[in-house]
């Protein structure tokens, strides 16, 4: 293949990973923004979403689209319920102390990962895409499903943005983010908001995972890379800034897709991680984030 | 006599707010200087600029003839500027002894003996009347004693300039009496800068008083002059004494 | 508090060391081997405790310091053909230099950012080990040849692979680090670290350069962890990238939390407890990480002070 088409292919692949990454990172960013905690188990919610998608689709059988869409609805709901429960049972009792929360979510990470290994096993398993149409471009054929993932992500991101900026729920969330005590004084049920945000964050990761399983298979260790990449996105975009998160997801997703097509993935990851660490050290408000108050 | 501390054109903005606005200030050695002013007048910001907890937007701070504007806080402390916090911030889990040992061992870093630390610590604790409570965890001391421990920690640095930020806040009348004696005692070998809301305390202690309002110096003079100053009465005293 | 005779502290710690020495002759082979490993890893935990327990800095990247010692010593033997003592010194030096650089960078941040930054630097270190596979053996790791694992004292060679020698060498390192830690936390410097942990700004206003003090803590902590890593390479003869993974950053945190942060004997107690909990659990299930996860959550929820922390709070206030 010539360089031009090769680059086009890499860009398309990059767009798909950017779409999935922006959903996952948005979940992490929401949780950090509103609750001021870092959820290290975020990647495991992603993995759980994918594993549940396989379980649901393989239980239902029938046409692939039936299983897939059932998974797209049920899997995030189940993951959300698990996240909600762990927030109520563990995080709320830690009073959201940042360090204790990180330790607790590390514990959660190990628990979810090991339960997945025990009940799902070490194999990687695929979920059939709901449709298998291929677009024929002049140089290569490209899966229409992958493009629909990009479209779905855009729709989802837009709706999250609308909810955050245009609805009462969004207002309540922003008020809680701005000042927890004042929000309480205005009779905002801060506890419910926190549990809801934590569940929402996990659900976004789960949706992203369901979208990606037809492309890359479900595996019990698949949560590690999305966690690291989401961290990178949230840090570069500025902790807690939604717009920054989206820009950074696009940047990282695209460059990850393009770079890993031309370079050794280990080297690419190494350099990317080092650069991000340096961003945190020398520009903690992120590359795009405004200085926080 | 050369001034111990001068500021010229000292300003600090937070966003659009000028917390401290173009302040020229001079402090002579041996003084007890009071700083008063309504809430939000910029008093705490001003002394924070002096001791380096925050850096100025513009202007300079000179201490003992040297420009210390860009010096980090710990270096200013080593040059002899001690600051006691407005909100009590003793090390609650450490004993009163250990709290005072921290500044003493810092000052004595050249001498290695435990005995000299001990005598330094007990000296500061005795001056503040806390010697019998040396082994208590600081967090379990009564509030008034915690305020005194703050002062003992400041004293233990053997400062040339001791900045006290609202030291009598929350103290009983009896404790305030003792406190006034303590400050007079300290002032025999250090210059004292004291932010205080309690007017009788300032009037009794201070040789001169500087009045802040809206980030600027409104007036400066002896307690007598300040009491007579009409602008001060308008801005501050008037509202307080009806 | 300061007036309690130092003799009591040293008596307690020497008694612990004496018991561990006696165990060398009493333990059955399986537990003897396990205990040697626990002693080395307890040194790792003590290094972590210096920074986390006393200075209050929670790092999620300490596997890189352990791995720096591990690879520093291991690679010196494998590629340069060095003997055990210089290889150990090479491991220490790698840990010291790495912790100095990492400290200079990561201490510009604090709190959650510090945790993430240290985790990321450790990840870079881990990926570098994988990337330079021709030298490091990649994810296969390297075996440190047995003929190099010999300690010659006078004219007498000691084979570090021999169980007795291995145990006693591990104990010697453990004892040295334990007593050094005890002396350090009871020193003036230890008092300053605790002050920084309790209230950094107040400590600054007492004239302390808190950055330099914290940097020193990172270097001391990193070097102790590297000593554990270097000893591990030489005593157990294996150098592997899994020791540089995230898991080996979490484990010392877990051990210290279990035993009690900011207690001198907590790291040993925590490592011992968790090793045996996992050893027993792995008899029933392969998912030993599940145990780690559950213990972590239970600890932060119900015993944030750990075993010795609770003992100190309830009964023995003088415990260092």
Task: Map tokens 């696009």 to a residue.
Answer: A250
Regarding whether B52 and B109 lie in a shared domain, the answer is no
Within a domain: A248: yes
Query: Which residue from B162, B92, B94, B93 is spatially nearest to B127, judged by alpha carbons?
Result: B162
Cβ atoms of residues A26 and A242 within 8 Å: yes
Number of domain units in chain B: 2
Do B74 and B94 belong together in one domain? no
Clarify whether residues B56 and B3 are in a common domain.
yes
For the residues C227-246, what does the mean pLDDT come to?
A: 94
Query: A108 contacts in C (CB within 8 Å)?
Result: 293, 297
pLDDT at A78: 96
Q: Which residues are paired to C177 by β-bridges?
A: none
The CA distance from B202 to B189, in Å, is 19
We report the CATH number of the domain holding residue B201 as 3.40.50.300
Q: Please, what is the end-to-end C-alpha distance for chain B in angstroms?
A: 40
Lowest mean pLDDT among C4-13, C106-115, C217-226: C4-13
| Tokens matching residue C144 | 């440190």
- Interatomic CA distance for residues A55 and A67, integer angstroms: 9
Q: Is C207 on the interface with B (CB under 8 A)?
A: yes
Chains that touch B (3 or more CB pairs under 8 A): C
**pLDDT tens per residue across span B131-153:** 888 888 898 888 888 988 988 99
Question: Which chain B residues touch C if contact means CB-CB below 8 Å?
Answer: 51, 53, 72-74, 77-78, 82-83, 85, 89-95, 97-98, 101-103, 105-107, 117, 135, 153, 157
Interface contact C204-B94, CB threshold 8 A: no
Long-range contacts of C78-82 (CB under 8 A, 24+ apart): C78/C142, C78/C144, C78/C145, C78/C239, C79/C135, C81/C148, C82/C148
Residue C111 has pLDDT above 50, yes or no: yes
Segments in chain B below pLDDT 50? 241-242
Best probe of the C interface among B68, B84, B100, B105, by most C CBs < 10 A, is: B105
Helix, strand, or coil (residue A135): strand
Residue of C107, C120, C294, C306 to mutate for A, most A C-beta atoms under 10 A: C120
Q: Say if the Cβ atoms of B103 and C206 lie within 8 Å.
A: yes
Residue that terminates a domain, selected from B100, B132, B158: B158
Cβ-Cβ contacts under 8 Å, B92 against chain C? 198
Contacts (Cβ under 8 Å, ≥6 apart) of A35: A96, A194, A197, A198
Q: Are residues B163 and B199 in the same domain?
A: yes
Residues in chain B: 242
The pLDDT score that the predictor gives to residue B109 is 59
Count of helix runs (H) and strand runs (E) in chain B: 10, 10
Last residue of a domain, one of B158, B190, B216: B158
* Among the partner residues C2, C194, C206, nearest to B77 by beta-carbon distance: C206
pTM, entire model: 0.86
Nearest-neighbour CA in chain A from C237: distance (Å): 27
Determine, yes or no, domain membership for A179.
yes
What percentage of chain C exceeds 90 in pLDDT? Answer: 64
C315 pLDDT more than 80 = no
Cα nearest neighbour of C317 on chain B: B137
**Please, which residues have CB within 8 angstroms of residue A55's CB and are 6 or more apart in sequence?**
A120
pLDDT given for residue A89 in this prediction: 93
Chain C residues near residue A268 by CB distance under 8 angstroms: none
Q: How far apart are CA C218 and CA C59, in angstroms?
A: 10
Q: Is C153 on the interface with B (CB under 8 A)?
A: no
CA triplet A253, A256, A262: central angle to 5 degrees? 145
Give mean pLDDT, residues C95-109.
96
**B23 and B9: one domain?**
yes
Domain that holds residue B21: 1-80+159-242
Rounded distance between C-alpha atoms, residue A40 and residue A112, angstroms: 12
pLDDT in tens, A69-98: 999 999 999 999 999 999 999 999 988 887
- The DSSP output letter for A167 is S
**Which one has a higher pLDDT value, C60 or B88?**
C60
ipTM above 0.90, yes or no: no
Please list the ranges in chain A whose pLDDT falls under 50: 291-293
Concatenated DSSP letters of C233-290: HHHH-EE-GGGGSTHHHHHHHHHHHHH-TT-SSHHHHHHHHHHHHHHHHTTT-S-HHH
Q: Which residues of C touch B112 (CB under 8 A)?
A: none
- Helix/strand/coil for B61: strand
Show me where the domains of chain C are located: 6-244
Among chain A residues, CA nearest to C291: A111
Per the CB < 8 A criterion, the answer to whether C186 and C6 are in contact is: yes
Which of the two residues, C77 and B115, has the higher pLDDT score?
C77
Boundary residue ending a domain (B158, B185, B209): B158
C198 vs C192: CA distance, rounded Å: 10
Q: What is the rounded CA–CA span in Å between residue C130 and residue A160? A: 39
- Name every chain B residue with its beta carbon within 8 A of the beta carbon of C203: 102
Same domain, B213 and B226: yes
Distance between C105 CA and the closest CA of chain B, angstroms? 19
How far does B90 lie from chain C, in Å, by closest CA? Answer: 8
For residues C43 and C272, what is the distance between their CA atoms, to the nearest angstrom?
Answer: 12
């Amino acid at each position: 293949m010539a360089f031009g088409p090769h680059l086009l292919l890499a860009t398309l692949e990059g767009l798909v990973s950017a779409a999935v990454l922006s959903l996952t990172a948005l979940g992490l960013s929401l949780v950090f923004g509103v609750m001021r905690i870092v959820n290290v188990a975020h990647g495991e919610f992603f993995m759980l979403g994918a594993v549940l998608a396989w379980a649901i689709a393989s239980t239902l059988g029938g046409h692939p689209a039936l299983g897939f869409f059932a998974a797209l609805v049920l899997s995030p709901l189940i993951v959300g319920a698990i996240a909600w429960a762990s927030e109520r049972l563990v995080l709320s009792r830690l009073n959201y102390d940042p360090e204790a929360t990180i330790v607790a979510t590390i514990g959660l990470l190990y628990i979810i990962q090991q339960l997945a290994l025990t009940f799902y096993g070490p194999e990687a398993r695929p979920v059939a895409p709901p449709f298998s149409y291929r677009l024929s471009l002049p140089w290569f054929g490209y899966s229409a499903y992958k493009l629909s993932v990009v479209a779905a992500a855009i729709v989802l991101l837009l709706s999250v943005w609308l909810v955050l900026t245009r609805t009462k729920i969004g207002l309540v969330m922003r008020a809680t983010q701005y000042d927890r005590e004042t929000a309480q004084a205005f009779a905002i049920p801060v506890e419910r908001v926190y549990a809801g945000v934590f569940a929402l964050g996990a659900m976004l990761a789960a949706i992203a995972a369901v979208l990606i399983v037809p492309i890359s298979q479900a595996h019990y260790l698949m949560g590690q890379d999305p966690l690291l990449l989401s961290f990178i996105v949230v840090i570069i975009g500025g902790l807690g800034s939604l717009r920054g998160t989206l820009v950074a997801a696009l940047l990282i997703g695209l460059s990850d897709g393009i770079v890993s097509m031309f370079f050794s993935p280990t080297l690419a990851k190494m350099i990317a991680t080092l650069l991000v660490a340096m961003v945190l050290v020398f520009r903690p408000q992120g590359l795009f984030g405004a200085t926080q108050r | 006599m050369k001034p111990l501390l001068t500021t010229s054109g000292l300003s600090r903005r937070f966003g659009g707010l000028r917390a401290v606005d173009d302040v020229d200030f001079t402090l002579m050695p041996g003084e007890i200087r009071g700083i008063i002013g309504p809430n939000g007048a910029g008093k705490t910001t001003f002394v924070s600029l002096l001791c380096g907890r925050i850096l100025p937007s513009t202007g300079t701070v000179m201490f003992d003839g040297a420009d210390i504007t860009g010096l980090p806080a710990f270096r200013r402390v080593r040059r002899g500027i001690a600051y006691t916090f407005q909100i009590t911030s003793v090390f609650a889990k450490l004993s009163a002894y250990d709290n005072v040992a921290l500044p003493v061992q810092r000052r004595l870093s050249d001498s290695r003996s435990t005995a000299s630390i001990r005598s330094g610590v007990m000296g500061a604790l005795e001056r503040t009347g806390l010697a019998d409570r040396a082994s208590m965890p600081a967090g379990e001391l009564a509030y008034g004693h915690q305020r005194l421990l703050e002062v003992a920690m400041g004293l233990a640095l053997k400062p040339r300039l001791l900045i006290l930020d609202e030291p009598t806040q929350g103290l009983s009348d009896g404790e305030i009496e003792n406190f006034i004696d303590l400050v007079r005692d300290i002032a025999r070998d250090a210059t004292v800068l004291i932010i205080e809301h309690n007017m009788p305390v300032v009037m009794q202690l201070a040789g001169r008083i500087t009045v802040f309002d809206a980030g600027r110096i409104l007036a400066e003079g002896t307690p007598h002059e300040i009491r007579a100053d009409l602008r001060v009465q308008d801005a501050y005293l008037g509202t307080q004494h009806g | 508090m300061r007036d309690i005779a130092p003799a009591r502290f040293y008596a307690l710690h020497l008694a612990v060391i004496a018991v561990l020495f006696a165990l060398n002759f009493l333990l059955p082979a399986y537990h003897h081997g396990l205990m040697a490993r626990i002693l080395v890893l307890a040194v790792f935990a003590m290094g972590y405790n210096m920074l986390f327990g006393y200075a209050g800095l929670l790092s999620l990247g300490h596997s890189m310091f352990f791995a720096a010692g591990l690879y520093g010593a291991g690679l010196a033997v494998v590629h340069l053909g060095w003997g055990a003592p210089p290889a150990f010194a090479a491991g220490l030096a790698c840990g010291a230099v790495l912790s100095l650089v990492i400290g200079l960078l990561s201490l510009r941040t604090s709190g959650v950012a510090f945790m993430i930054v240290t985790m990321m630097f450790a990840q870079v270190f881990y990926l570098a080990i994988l990337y330079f596979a021709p030298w490091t053996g990649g994810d296969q790791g390297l075996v440190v040849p047995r003929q190099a694992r010999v300690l010659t004292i006078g004219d007498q060679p000691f084979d570090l692979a021999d169980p007795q020698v291995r145990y006693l060498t591990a104990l010697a390192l453990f004892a040295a680090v334990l007593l050094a830690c005890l002396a350090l936390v009871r020193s003036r410097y230890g008092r300053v670290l605790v002050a920084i942990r309790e209230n950094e700004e107040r400590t600054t206003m007492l004239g302390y350069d808190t950055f330099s003090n914290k940097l020193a803590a990172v270097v001391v902590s990193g070097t102790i962890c590297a000593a554990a890593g270097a000893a591990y390479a030489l005593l157990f003869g294996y150098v592997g990238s899994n020791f540089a993974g995230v898991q080996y950053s979490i484990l010392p945190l877990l051990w210290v939390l279990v035993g009690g942060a900011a207690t001198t004997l907590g790291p040993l107690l925590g490592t011992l407890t968790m090793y045996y909990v996992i050893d027993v659990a792995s008899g029933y299930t392969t998912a030993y990480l599940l145990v780690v996860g559950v213990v972590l959550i239970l600890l932060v929820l119900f015993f944030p002070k750990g075993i010795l922390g609770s003992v100190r709070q309830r009964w023995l206030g003088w415990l260092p």
